[in-house]
Amino acid sequence: MSKRNGIKSELIQSCRMEVLKNCPICGSELFEPFISGKDYFLTGEAFGIVKCRSCGFRFTNPRPEASNLGKYYESTDYISHSNTQNGLFASVYQLVRKYTLGRKLSLIRRFQKNGEILDIGCATGQFLNFVKQNGWKTTGIEPDDKTRHKAITEYGLQVFPEENLDTFQKASFEIITLWHVLEHVSELNERMAQLKFLLKPSGTLFIAVPNCNSFDAKIYGEFWAGYDLPRHLYHFTKADMKLLAEKFGFKIVKILPMKFDSFYVSLLSEKYKSGKMRWLPAFWNGLLSNLKSMPVNGHSSLIYVLALK
């Protein structure tokens, strides 16, 4: 039995589900089915997304209990954790990531020239190491033990388990970043409250999440890799992020596209839909998604820049 099939068997046999009874944003108890899909990445298990009838927020429900979610990341194909460079897809991913590191730092410097930065969900630490080399004092949070160990041993970074978020002092950081992390967090409201507590009054919060109103999401439907069931627990739109920000005393000062994500997500979506890495259709759909999204920020993924009111 392959490792992947072994993981699949173990999960199906042992994973218990959690059913949310309230919308994580507005608290409503009224939901309707939005879309059904599968874990196309790892297990093949079926999952569903519901839509709140009150505020429109979409979230995975039921979902694996928080204690079991880590099992859905246990694959060498999960590049952000394994940092593998094997294969054409992984090689292209690594090249794009190197380019985007500089773009992220340039964006941060528009709001803060230097200081102390907290990167939540820092994975193997490439981003933190890059900003550290550019004069920032860095702290990372990474829930996965093996991935956190890589960040510490390979780059000498200060990276802690997720529970350490509760040990930091109030207003400790000028910058807090979550690059494709918020959609993975089980306790959404608790995390937003933590971010407000940890950010300095003049600080800036950067949150990057997939946009389920994107053109490529409409093209691929249930096969859209941005849903990434069940690892993605929430499926944000711009309206959702505005409601969530205001709920915790933040304001959105800027929204920026992550244009490379349209190609990356389209390529994975092609694989989930057809079983093959169909590069040309993926490139075309990614290009269409970017072109049709301008200038209204309907891209596959968006960066939200938030500040305290």
Q: Is residue 231 included in any domain, yes or no?
A: yes
What pLDDT shows up at residue 106? 95
Quick check: is 29 in a domain?
no
Mean pLDDT, the chain, integer: 91
The arithmetic mean of pLDDT across residues 189-216, rounded, is: 97
The whole-number pLDDT of residue 60 equals 98
What range defines the domain where residue 192 resides? 78-308
Answer yes or no: is pLDDT of 88 > 60. no
Q: Is 44:29 a contact under the CB 8 Å cutoff? A: no
Q: Residue 287 pLDDT > 80, yes or no?
A: yes
Predicted TM-score (pTM) of the model is 0.90
More confidently predicted of 92 and 259: 259
| Residue 251 to residue 241: CA distance in whole angstroms | 10
**CA nearest neighbour of 210 among 254, 260, 251:** 260
Q: What amino acid occupies position 94?
A: Q
Q: Beta-carbon neighbour count of residue 13 at 10 Å?
A: 7
Q: Is the residue at 133 inside a domain? A: yes
Question: Cα dihedral sign for 275, 280, 284, 290?
Answer: positive
> 125 is written with which tokens?
């630490």
> In the predicted model, what is the mean pLDDT of residues 212-235?
97
Number of domains the chain is built from: 1
Residue 21 within any structural domain of the chain: no
Domain membership of residue 145 (yes or no) is yes
In a domain, 107, yes or no: yes
Whether the per-residue pLDDT at 126 is higher than 50: the answer is: yes
**Residues 24-71: tens digit of each pLDDT:** 999 999 999 999 999 999 999 999 999 999 999 999 999 999 999 989
Residue 212 lies in a domain: yes
CATH of the domain at 222: 3.40.50.150
CB 48 within 8 A of CB 61: yes
Return the half-sphere exposure (C-beta side, CA atoms, 13 A cut-off) of residue 113: 0
- Return the H-helix or E-strand segment holding 234: strand 234-235
For residue 162, being part of any structural domain is answered with yes
Contact 108, 204 (CB under 8 A): yes
Q: What tokens appear for 272 in the block?
A: 């989930």
